[in-house]
């Protein structure tokens, strides 16, 4: 029975990408003499190299080996930490990522920069080893080591569990890794091998007693066994100089890729008298990796439970008029069910919540690269990194945030000399701040740059025909034009800006997640982009409304406020008879009745309600009959269960078993444009006319 190692590849890939993120963030904060950080970077590279070798990803192994060698020279003090080496290691991280992605996808990675970086690594390493003579071709790859009586001796008892080999681990790799630390002696113990008819070929019955002569730390030995630390019994002992026998000469085969390390020793060291014993414990904090499909199924199940609870509550309310005593007990139980359901729902949702740091971690490297390219001095500040967000939202918000940060770096922050002339510090600041507000997460991208040039934006908008000369726009409305498709104020097209693609996509992508982006800017002081997002896409906070005999749900995040309709505020301006005067501005009125082709109302106009909503920087007044409850609802996709409907983003099931459609505020505007020639004045069919 053969072992299918491919089942372990997803775990290796996930851990490798996490290791690369650790390497990148650590390199960006690396300082001279920071050995702890160098060791952390080395361990990450070592783990990636070991895992890649296990699964036969030889290109990853070969490349990472040179990275590991460079890091090893840094941590041993043989090489000082130079900025050029840090830059090279950062480029190497990019290359390793590309190689792993290619191995994951089963394709060849022919990116030319990988060869360039690999050659740069080889050149950098050759500077240090250029005086070392190459071995003669006729001689074997043998390195002779004379071990003095001052060389520490480590004794290692390595007893693999029977199933260790079944997880893709190989004792050969472990012994070879130890040989890289120093001369090795190994004694194989075979007394636990069962009779031939009881042997399982996939299990390990051997154990090893190993002696290592090395000046290394115990942590270096721990790293060798880190892949099998929970699959073996391991004791590492440091032998004192007084009790150790002197090993005079050792020959080690120095090619761990081809065959196991072997040793010729005149006399093996004796048993230690004084030793430090360590049993490697599992460092895992108890976390587990759960497939997102399983979590999604669990969330759907909880959603059904929420619907059931709401239905039972409705039944209990209806029965309360008939059998008071019995129903009281039913209602008490329903109250308890409601609390338990809510707690279960929150617990389940938390499974998929991750800290926003998973998104923020990409920005230090990006700021480092862009600041070097633009010649700007930039400090990146991060706060609120532990603010949690649903994994599905997080996966989709990364690219919009990248666009916003790049915009601040390129357009917002000035060059150092310009900042000095303006009385600022030559180093500009971009601050990413995440926090919870109500049932939403808000991410602010704040820069202390020049702010938006409102006049320049207006000139470009006129030039591109986005506005007309006779339009009277406030400064805020002009600034909002940067979100228009194809808009850019850049004088030259570069790989950072000028193509007019980005900000409109940012707004569209954010709104597709049920969120919105707001902009504030002060000339000479800087700009702030605020992105508001729902914590999850599975649950929606909504306002229930009634129009005719139908119940709809408006997302709370879109609502500014609601009020009783005052027909005196209904105005006709510039030929548009459907405007509502609200807080010193005129807002278009959308009649839900007309847009959704519902029966005309026979009620007086003043009994109607207005809901002020906002989408894509524009405000609208929705004309509805009544406001009902506010509640969390479980989203059901209309696309997968029926078909896409303009103006509707989904549906949910209410407590009475009825279906309520969820209004898509942005979609209403598109629906209004499509029907502009078919619908009439929203009030002409009401029983009360507007003067």
Domain ranges of the chain: 5-129, 142-253, 292-352, 355-534, 539-674
Tokens 């900025």 — which residue? 83
- Between the alpha carbon of residue 650 and those of residues 410, 536, 556, 660, the distances in Å are 38, 15, 15, 9
Half-sphere exposure of 416 (CA within 13 A, CB side): 10
Instruction: Of 525, 529, 527, give the one whose Cα is nearest residue 424.
Output: 525
Strand order in the sheet with 609-615: 559-564, 609-615, 618-624, 585-591, 576-582, 570-573
C-beta separation of 273 from 240 below 8 A: yes
C-beta separation of 413 from 378 below 8 A: yes
Long-range own/partner contacts, residues 575-578 (CB < 8 A, 24 or more apart):
577/681, 578/681, 578/682, 578/683
Rounded distance between C-alpha atoms, residue 553 and residue 541, angstroms: 9
User: In sequence order, what DSSP letters do the residues of 570-635 get, joined into one string?
Assistant: EEEETTEEEEEEETTEEEEEEEHHHHTTPPPP-S-GGG-EEEEEEETTEEEEEEESEEEEEEEEE-
- What proportions of the chain, in percent to the nearest 5, are helix, strand and coil? 40, 25, 35
Rounded distance between C-alpha atoms, residue 557 and residue 535, angstroms: 11
C-beta separation of 277 from 237 below 8 A: yes
CATH homologous superfamily of 5-129 equals: HPT domain (1.20.120.160)
pLDDT at residue 377, rounded to an integer: 92
Rounded distance between C-alpha atoms, residue 467 and residue 565, angstroms: 31
- Please, what is the angle between helix 112-129 and helix 83-105, to 10°? 130
Rounded distance between C-alpha atoms, residue 419 and residue 426, angstroms: 5
- Please, what is the angle between helix 58-75 and helix 112-129, to 10°? 40
pLDDT at residue 577, rounded to an integer: 62
* Positions of the chain with pLDDT under 50: 1-2, 127-149, 242-286, 498-500, 685-691
Q: Is 117 exposed, middle or buried (0-12, 13-18, 19+ CB in 10 A)?
A: buried
Rounded distance between C-alpha atoms, residue 594 and residue 678, angstroms: 10
Rounded distance between C-alpha atoms, residue 309 and residue 336, angstroms: 10
Backbone angles phi, psi at 19, to 5 degrees: -65, -40
Instruction: Of 329, 233, 246, 323, give the one whose Cα is nearest residue 282.
Output: 233
CB count in 10 Å sphere of residue 223: 19
pTM above 0.75, yes or no: no
Instruction: Extract the tokens encoding 224.
Output: 């060798």
Q: Tell me whether strands 539-547 and 559-564 are parallel, antiparallel or unpaired.
A: unpaired
Q: What is the DSSP letter of 564?
A: E
C-beta separation of 63 from 120 below 8 A: no
Bridge partners of residue 554, in order along the sequence: 543
CB count in 10 Å sphere of residue 196: 6
- Please, what is the angle between helix 35-54 and helix 58-75, to 10°? 160
The per-residue b/e assignment along 511-548, b for 16 or more CB within 10 angstroms, e otherwise, is bebbbbbebebeeeebbbbbbbbbbbbbbbbbbbbebe
Rounded distance between C-alpha atoms, residue 648 and residue 21, angstroms: 40
C-beta separation of 615 from 558 below 8 A: yes
Rounded distance between C-alpha atoms, residue 212 and residue 247, angstroms: 11
C-beta separation of 597 from 603 below 8 A: no
- 3-class DSSP state for residue 158? strand
CB count in 10 Å sphere of residue 20: 19
Instruction: Extract the tokens encoding 427.
Output: 């180093």
- Between the alpha carbon of residue 604 and those of residues 250, 548, 566, 681, 688, the distances in Å are 101, 13, 12, 16, 6
Q: What is the DSSP letter of 411?
A: I
Instruction: Extract the tokens encoding 666.
Output: 């942005």
- Determine the CATH number of domain 142-253: 3.30.70.260
Phi-psi region at 602: left, alpha or beta (left = phi > 0; alpha = psi -120 to 50)? alpha
CB count in 10 Å sphere of residue 184: 25
Rounded distance between C-alpha atoms, residue 96 and residue 20, angstroms: 8
Contacts of 71 (CB under 8 A, 6+ apart): 38, 41, 42, 45, 89
Half-sphere exposure of 586 (CA within 13 A, CB side): 13
Instruction: Of 170, 377, 299, give the one whose Cα is nearest residue 635.
Output: 299
Looking at CATH, the fold of the domain delimited by 355-534 is given as Heat Shock Protein 90 (3.30.565)
Strand order in the sheet with 377-383: 377-383, 427-437, 440-447, 526-534, 516-522
pLDDT at residue 573, rounded to an integer: 67
pLDDT at residue 5, rounded to an integer: 65
Given this chain, do its domains 355-534 and 539-674 carry the same CATH topology?
no
Q: What is the DSSP letter of 7?
A: G
Instruction: Of 16, 171, 37, give the one whose Cα is nearest residue 103.
Output: 16
pLDDT tens digits for range 604-657: 666 788 899 887 667 889 989 889 988 878 777 777 777 778 888 888 888 777
Looking at CATH, the fold of the domain delimited by 539-674 is given as OB fold (Dihydrolipoamide Acetyltransferase, E2P) (2.40.50)
- As a whole-number percent, the residues of the chain with pLDDT over 90 amount to 15
Q: Is 374 exposed, middle or buried (0-12, 13-18, 19+ CB in 10 A)?
A: middle
User: In sequence order, what DSSP letters do the residues of 242-307 get, joined into one string?
Assistant: TTSPPP--EEEE--TTTS---B--SS-----SS----PPPP---S-----HHHHHHHHHHHHHHHH
Phi-psi region at 33: left, alpha or beta (left = phi > 0; alpha = psi -120 to 50)? left
């Amino acid at each position: 029975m053969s072992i299918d190692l491919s089942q372990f590849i997803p775990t290796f890939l996930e851990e490798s990408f996490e290791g690369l993120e650790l390497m990148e963030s650590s390199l960006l904060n690396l300082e001279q003499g920071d050995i702890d950080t160098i060791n952390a970077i080395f361990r990450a590279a070592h783990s990636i190299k070991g895992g890649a070798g296990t699964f036969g990803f030889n290109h990853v192994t070969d490349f990472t080996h040179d990275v590991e060698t460079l890091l090893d020279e840094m941590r041993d003090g043989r090489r000082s930490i130079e900025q050029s080496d840090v830059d090279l290691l950062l480029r190497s991280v990019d290359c390793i990522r590309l190689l792993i992605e290619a191995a994951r996808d089963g394709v060849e990675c022919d990116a030319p920069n990988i060869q360039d970086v690999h050659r740069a690594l080889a050149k950098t390493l050759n500077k240090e080893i250029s005086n070392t003579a190459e071995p003669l071709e006729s001689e074997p790859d043998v390195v002779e080591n004379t071990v003095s009586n001052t060389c520490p001796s480590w004794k290692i008892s390595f007893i693999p569990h029977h199933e260790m080999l079944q997880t893709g681990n190989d004792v050969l790799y472990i012994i070879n890794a130890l040989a890289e630390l120093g001369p090795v002696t190994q004694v194989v113990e075979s007394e636990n091998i069962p009779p031939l008819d009881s042997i399982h070929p996939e299990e390990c019955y051997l154990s090893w007693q190993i002696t290592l002569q090395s000046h290394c730390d115990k942590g270096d030995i721990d790293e060798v066994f880190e892949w099998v630390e929970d699959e073996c019994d391991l004791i590492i002992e440091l032998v004192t100089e007084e009790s150790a026998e002197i090993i005079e000469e050792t020959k080690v085969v120095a090619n761990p890729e081809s065959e196991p390390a072997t040793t010729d020793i005149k006399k093996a060291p004796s048993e230690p008298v004084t030793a430090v014993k360590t049993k490697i414990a599992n460092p895992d904090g108890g976390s587990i990796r759960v497939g997102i499909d399983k979590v999604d199924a669990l969330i759907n199940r909880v959603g059904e439970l929420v619907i059931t609870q709401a239905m039972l509550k409705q039944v209990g309310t209806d029965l309360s008029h008939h059998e008071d005593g019995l129903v009281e007990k039913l209602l008490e139980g329903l109250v308890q069910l409601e609390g338990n359901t809510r707690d279960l729902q929150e617990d389940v949702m938390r499974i998929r919540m991750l800290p926003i740091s998973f998104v923020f971690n990409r920005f230090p490297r990006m700021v480092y690269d862009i600041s070097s390219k633009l010649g700007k001095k930039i400090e990146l500040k991060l706060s609120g990194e532990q603010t949690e967000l649903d994994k599905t939202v997080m996966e989709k918000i990364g690219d919009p945030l990248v666009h916003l940060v790049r915009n601040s770096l390129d357009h917002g922050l000035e060059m150092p000399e310009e900042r000095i002339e303006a009385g600022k510090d030559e180093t500009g600041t971009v601050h990413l701040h995440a926090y919870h507000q109500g049932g939403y997460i808000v991410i602010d991208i704040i820069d202390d740059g020049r702010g938006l040039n409102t006049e320049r934006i207006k000139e470009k908008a006129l030039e591109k025909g986005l506005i007309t000369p006779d339009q009277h726009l406030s400064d805020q409305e002009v600034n909002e034009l940067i979100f228009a498709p194809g808009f850019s104020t850049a004088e030259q097209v570069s790989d950072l800006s000028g193509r007019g693609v980005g900000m409109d996509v940012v707004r569209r992508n954010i709104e597709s997640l049920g969120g919105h982006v707001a902009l504030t800017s002060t000339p000479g002081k800087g700009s702030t982009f605020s992105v508001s997002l729902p914590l999850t896409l599975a649950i929606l906070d909504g306002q229930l409304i009634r129009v005719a005999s139908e119940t709809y749900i408006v997302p709370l995040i879109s609502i500014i406020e609601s009020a009783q309709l005052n027909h005196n505020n209904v105005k006709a301006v510039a030929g548009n008879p459907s405007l509502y005067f609200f807080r010193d501005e005129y807002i278009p009125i959308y009649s839900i009745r007309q847009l959704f082709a519902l029966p005309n109302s026979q009620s007086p106009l003043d009994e109607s309600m207005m809901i002020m909503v906002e989408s894509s920087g524009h405000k609208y007044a929705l004309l509805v009959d009544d406001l009902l409850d506010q509640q969390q609802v479980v989203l059901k996709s209309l696309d997968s269960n029926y078909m896409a409907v303009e103006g509707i983003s989904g549906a949910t099931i209410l407590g009475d078993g009825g279906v309520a459609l969820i209004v898509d505020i942005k979609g209403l505007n598109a629906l209004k444009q499509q029907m502009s020639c078919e619908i009439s004045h929203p009030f002409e069919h009401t029983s009360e006319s507007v003067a």
